Amino acid sequence: MKKTVFALIAAAFAFSAHAAEPGTAYVGVGVATVDHNADIAGASNMGSTGYKASGKIFGGYNFDKNVALEAGYTDFAKSTYNYTAGTASKFAESDGHAFYVAGKYSVPVNDTVNVYGKLGLTRVKNSVSGALNTSDSNTRAYGGLGAEFALNKQVALNLEYERYGTKTAVGAKPDVWSAGVKFAF
């Protein structure tokens, strides 16, 4: 996996076109990794599934080479938890996702590489079934930092860290790492 990521990054540097052309719309897909946690009062022998891979889709519009508006959807994947409460064995399953809208500011490093920051709002839904059976939806602050590697004027690869609001007791943590591909048109 590390060799593949390194090869993709090296290929991005080999091309010389900048993907963030002014006045262009874009769409993209990615793979997101989310750590899952469970902080259940009185529980022992807590089992957690840790990091899980899931999907992400996004789209936006570049107003100029620096400023864009982006919206997206990230699935946080399902996670299962086995634990003990008193003497009883219990089971819970969490599932979550988020929609976001953010302003994006990019700074070109060279002709093929941009670094960027995103700031906006996210709508996060987290539901837990089984022994806990809860559901929570909130609008929260959203932020992200990333790098984009242009393959040509229409295609770019990106790596980013995103923060989707605050931590919940059970379910996906708000810290998400993702890698994706963006198509401009």
Structure tokens at 111: 């002709």
- Residues 6 or more apart in contact with residue 164 via CB below 8 angstroms: 74, 98, 100, 122, 124, 140, 142, 174, 176
Q: Where are the domains of the chain?
A: 2-184
Structure tokens at 115: 């670094």
pLDDT range class, residue 18, cuts 50, 70, 90: very low
Confidence check: pLDDT of 50 > 80: no
Mean pLDDT taken over the chain: 83
- For the stretch 76-101, pLDDT in tens is 888 777 777 777 777 778 888 999 99
Fold of 2-184: Porin (2.40.160)
DSSP at 18: -
CA 151 to chain centre: 22
- For the stretch 110-134, pLDDT in tens is 999 999 999 999 999 988 887 677 7
Question: Among all chains, which residue has been given the structure tokens 């991005």?
Answer: 12
Q: Which residues of 78-97 are buried (b: 16+ CB within 10 A; e: fewer)?
A: bbebbbeeeeeebebbbbbb
